[in-house]
Structures are given as C-alpha cells and as structure tokens.
Amino acid sequence: MFREHAMDSHLADVWFELTDLQVVSGSGATITTVDGVDHLDLTSGIGVANTGHCHPAVVEAVREQAGRFLHAQVNCYRHDRLEPLAARLAEVTPAGIEQFFFANSGAEATEAAVKLAKQATGKPNVVVFQGSFHGRSHLTMAMTTSKAVYRAGHAPLPSGVLVAPFPYTFVTGEDLDTSVARCLREFDLLLTTQTAPSEVAAVVIEPVLGEGGYVPAPRAFLEGLAERCRAHGILFVADEVQTGFGRTGALFAIEHTDVQPDVLVMAKGIASGFPMSAIGASAELMARWPVGSHGGTYGGNPMGCAAALATIDVLSGPGFLDDVRARGRQFLDGLEQLRGRHAAIAENRGVGLMLATEIVDAGGRPDPVRTAALLSHLLREERVVVMSCGPFGSTVRWIPPLVVSEDQVADALAAFDRALTATTDVEDSA
C-alpha cells in the first residue's frame, strides 16, 4: 500500500508507522514525547530495550567508550572490547557455543549463520518454518513466511529455502500433541519429497515465533527436530534474535529445552538499542569458515561491544530473571482473568515477557479490525503503546522492557480491560 508523500519531510515513506509519537527521552518502560507526555512502552522498540530505555549502566558504558574509540574496524586492528564480549557470551550462551562473529542486525546475523552452515557442510539448502520471520534482506525474505507483505514485490527471491509446518494450534485447531506429531511427520516427508537430507545445511527456527504470532515452539517439537538434525548431519540453528537476552525468562529461549543448538543467532536485546548482533557456534564449526569468506565494516563496533557487555551484566544480575518470570506470570494471569470477562479474547499464550492475546469476532474468527481499534484506544486514551502481529493482524503482542514494574503491569492490564470494554461495538459498526 502506498502513502501520499509528506512534502515537508526528507525521510522515505517506506517505514510502517505504529504511532505518530515524537519522542525525546525514555527511562525504564516509559517514553516521553516532545509535549512532555509520558507513555508506557510495551513494545521495547520491538524487543530491543530489554534493560529498559537508557539503563544507567548501559548509558555509562557507552559514554565511557565514546571518549576512547567510536569505530575500530576489526580487519584493520582489534580493540579491547572484542575479546571480553566474546568471552562473556561464551559464559552465558548454551553449552557448545564457544566462538562468535559480530554483525549489526538480525538479518545480517541470520545470513551469516546460513553462510557458515553452507560453508561448513557443503550443502545448499535450509529449512525454515511456517510463520517465521528472519529478516528483510533478500535471503532472509526468502526465509520469512509470517506475512506476504514482507516478500511482496521483491521476487524472485533466493532459492534453496524450504518451508516446513509449525505447530500453531490456535490456527490449526489441533491439540498440542497431535499438532507436534503431524508437523514432525511432515518435516520427515519434506526430507523425502522436496530435498534430501544430504542437501540440507541447516534447520533455522525461532524458539518462539516472533512476527508470526508469538507462538512458543513446543518442547517436543524442538527436541524432535534436533534429533532429526543429528541423525542427518543437519545443523540446528536457533534464531534467538527476538527471544534472546532474557525475553522469555531465561537468557535464551532454547534453554527451556534440552536442545543444544549448533548455531545461535542473537540481536535485538543484546546491546539495549545499539545496532549489534552476533552468531555463536563451536570452535570446531567456526574453523570450517574460510578466513576472509565473511566480514563487515561495522561488525564488532566498540560502542556496540561496550553496550552489550553492560547489557549482559544487567541481565545477569542477582534476581533479574526471577523478576522477569514473576512479571510474566503476573501479566499472563491477568490476561487470563480478562479472557474470562471478554469474549473477544480467544487465547493468551507465551513465556516470560513475550506474550500474545488472540482477538476474535463473535463467530470466533480472527478480528484485525477490533485489534486495530484496541491498539488505537490504548495509545490515544490510555497512553500505552502496544503492537500486533500474526498472520491475520489480530494478535496483540505484549513485549515490555524486562524492567517493567509490578505496578506498570497492573496498569497495562487495567488499560487493556478498559480498551476491550470501549471497543465492543467496533465489530458491529465495521
């Protein structure tokens, strides 16, 4: 969809705008606009500000680093934040993840993971899953199936990407065990009918679908896939761009399972807002990447490394993840109470502070019109910023900064309750 160009702006109109807010500052879970109005931010800048806006420890780390070096390009010389960050990541990532490559965005890191997998295995294909979002570059668009709009108008996309089903039970109407069993059978069928295992370099999966609907991958599904990867010599790549760095109540969502990923993809929450991403793998796997076969001008930027080190210290602090889990339980319990009072809520789900609410009409069908009205009411009347996601645009996603307080969660739930009441007539008038 095209918009009329704003003649007084030199910015491209290509960005989708969730709000028209003009912000000047942020602190914790609060953002402040140019007119001095505070809003509760339940987007975290799409899952980035996990430590909250302008956490003092992160701000100080960036300020100190800015006075020493802004850009130390890793091919030309090495700076004194590179090795400490790699060592710190080796401490906090799952077992077997030992060495790291730094980039700038989630899409770049995902592409790096695929390049590593292809180099290491000598195989051409990757398998992704229905509902996935892996980025907006050409390759990661080919790997993204959450919404057609992310791919429309950009064909032809790179080949060698195959799509397997994901157990999204709200959409399929199956019970969880049935859905997992079916999806694993269809994964096996894909390896029989569309590509041989000898052609598949990697399986790439989000432990919780992001743009696709905030749908946690069942533990049995992830472990079943990992078992098949081991049997066929396929690398298991966990895309933790959105789920990583405490979002699900563990530093990484894959830690909720017994799966040991071969490659871990990280971005968003890694540096509290500084453009930074990384992939991690074993030293043996990284050694199969020929020297000079990948790189980047800004990867490993000292400012990003300093921000990441401070971010990890905050997230690893005593009781931090305990608080995340407590706020997640409070939020989900509150949403379930609202489901008992509002027929528009068909399902609440999620883990930690990565939660979703499915909004439906009187016939039980996904209701993007009501969802849009809810978001608008929350913004205009409640000063609460919330996003939607999912294939139908009818899933409200709750992704507050991980430092959100008990009172702020209670305020958000009360605001949502009022928004549900205020928009009851939207479906009839639409």
360: β partners: 366
Tell me if 65 sits within 8 A of 302, measured CB to CB. Answer: yes
For residue 429, the model assigns a pLDDT of 45
The answer, yes or no, to whether residue 44 has pLDDT greater than 90, is yes
Secondary structure (DSSP) of 115-143: HHHHHHH---EEEEETT----SSHHHHHT
Task: Report the domain count for the chain.
Answer: 2
Give the integer Cα–Cα distance in Å for 291 and 58: 33
Local confidence band at 2 (pLDDT 50, 70, 90 cut-offs): very low
**Lowest-pLDDT choice from 149-153, 225-229, 328-332, 381-385:** 149-153
Q: What percent of the chain has pLDDT over 70?
A: 97
Q: What percent of the chain has pLDDT over 90?
A: 94
Task: Express each pLDDT in 274-311 by its tens digit.
Answer: 999 999 999 999 999 999 999 999 999 999 999 999 99
280/352 same-domain check: no
Residues 75/76/77/78 CA torsion (nearest 10 deg): -20
174/311 same-domain check: yes
Local confidence band at 189 (pLDDT 50, 70, 90 cut-offs): very high
Give the integer Cα–Cα distance in Å for 250 and 243: 9
For residue 1, the model assigns a pLDDT of 40
The number of beta carbons lying within 10 Å of the beta carbon of residue 186 is 14
- Using left for φ > 0, alpha for ψ between -120 and 50, and beta otherwise, residue 173 falls in left
289/165 same-domain check: yes
Give the integer Cα–Cα distance in Å for 46 and 371: 18
Task: Express each pLDDT in 356-380 by its tens digit.
Answer: 999 999 999 999 999 999 999 999 9
Q: Is residue 8 part of a domain?
A: no
218/288 same-domain check: yes
The answer, yes or no, to whether residue 7 has pLDDT greater than 70, is no
Give the end of a domain, one of 300, 315, 330: 315
Three-class HEC string of 371-417:
HHHHHHHHHHHHCEECEEECCCCCEEEECCCCCCCHHHHHHHHHHHH
The answer, yes or no, to whether residue 427 has pLDDT greater than 80, is no
pTM of the model: 0.96
Q: Is residue 420 part of a domain?
A: yes
Give the integer Cα–Cα distance in Å for 47 and 282: 27
What are the backbone dihedrals phi and psi of residue 323, each rounded to the nearest 5 degrees, phi first?
Answer: -65, -40
235/368 same-domain check: no
Alpha helices in 11-156 (DSSP H): 44-47, 56-66, 82-92, 106-121, 138-142
For residue 6, the model assigns a pLDDT of 58
275/409 same-domain check: no
The number of beta carbons lying within 10 Å of the beta carbon of residue 355 is 20
Give the end of a domain, one of 315, 334, 357: 315
Local confidence band at 337 (pLDDT 50, 70, 90 cut-offs): very high
Give the integer Cα–Cα distance in Å for 408 and 193: 51
Local confidence band at 4 (pLDDT 50, 70, 90 cut-offs): low
Give the end of a domain, one of 273, 297, 315: 315
Domain with 334, as residue range(s), is 23-54+319-429
327/306 same-domain check: no
Among the listed residues 168, 242, 239, the one whose alpha carbon sits nearest the alpha carbon of residue 395: 168
* CA 237 to each of CA 89, 115, 201, 259, 296: distance values in angstroms, whole numbers, following the listed order: 17, 12, 10, 11, 21
136/30 same-domain check: no
Tell me if 37 sits within 8 A of 44, measured CB to CB. Answer: no
Angle at 50 between CA 113 and CA 360, to 5 degrees: 90
302/329 same-domain check: no
Alpha helices in 122-202 (DSSP H): 138-142, 169-172, 176-193
Q: Strand, helix or coil at 315?
A: helix
Q: Is residue 16 part of a domain?
A: no
Q: Is residue 15 part of a domain?
A: no
23: β partners: 33
Give the integer Cα–Cα distance in Å for 225 and 231: 10
Q: Is residue 61 part of a domain?
A: no
What are the backbone dihedrals phi and psi of residue 38, each rounded to the nearest 5 degrees, phi first?
Answer: -90, 140
Give the integer Cα–Cα distance in Å for 294 and 75: 11
Average pLDDT, the chain: 96
299/339 same-domain check: no
324/251 same-domain check: no
429 vs 397: which has the higher pLDDT: 397
Which CATH number characterizes residue 357's domain? 3.90.1150.10
Among the listed residues 403, 383, 305, the one whose alpha carbon sits nearest the alpha carbon of residue 56: 403
For residue 115, the model assigns a pLDDT of 98
